[in-house]
Structure 1
Amino acid sequence: MFKRLFWVGVGFSIGVVAASKARSYAKAHTPAGAREFVFGRETNNVAVSTVLGLYDEFQTTRKAREAELNQQYVAASR
């Protein structure tokens, strides 16, 4: 179990680093108007904003799945 947890952590870390590097590259190589349209005006803390975006997306997906499972559980218990 600890091996699996370790590799999930490694994979998550690599994903965060890759996503922040890709965002950083895109911000550096796009014109100012397009960059502000896509990423907003904040150009600092790319890694932090990437992690926060991933966390928000995870929470939204988790809550939707939890609601779906709760509905299935209630329907099955009737």
Structure 2
Amino acid sequence: MFKRIFWIGTGAALGVIAASKAQSYVRANTPQRAREFVLGPDEDNVAQRTLAGLITQFQTVMNSREEELNRHYADRFND
């Protein structure tokens, strides 16, 4: 069990390091217009914008599924 936790943690840490190195490489070796096209005009907050978008999308899907289930079970009990 502890080996799995260790390797998952190690993989996550290496993933974060690789992503930050890749982002710094892109910043250093691409022209500004290309960086703005890929990363957006706010280059410093790409991770925050991505995480916020994922959370918003998750909440939207969760709410729509909850409404679908509520309608399904409400129709079952109303009949």
TM-score band w.r.t. shorter chain: 0.5 to 0.7
Q: Greater relative contact order: 1 or 2 (C-alpha under 8 angstroms, separation 6 or more)?
A: 1
Q: Whose helix fraction is larger, Structure 1's or Structure 2's?
A: 2
Normalised to the residue count of structure 1, the TM-score between the two structures is 0.56
Whose Rg is larger? 2
Residue of structure 2 equivalent to 1:16: 16
Matches of 2:29 and 2:52, distance apart in 1? 26
Shift of 1:2: 7.5
Matches of 2:21 and 2:69, distance apart in 1? 41
Normalised to the residue count of structure 2, the TM-score between the two structures is 0.56
Identical amino acids, percent of aligned pairs: 36
In the alignment of these two chains, the number of paired residues is: 72
- CA offset digits 1:4-44 (Å, max 9, x no partner): 6662x5444333332222221111111123223433265xx
Letter in 2 for 1:38: V
Ranges in structure 1 where 5+ consecutive residues have no aligned partner: none
C-alpha RMSD of matched pairs (Å): 3.1
Within the alignment, does 1:61 sit opposite 2:57 as a pair? yes
Residue of structure 1 equivalent to 2:71: 75
1:20–1:50 Cα contact (<8 Å) kept: no
Ranges in structure 2 where 5+ consecutive residues have no aligned partner: 75-79
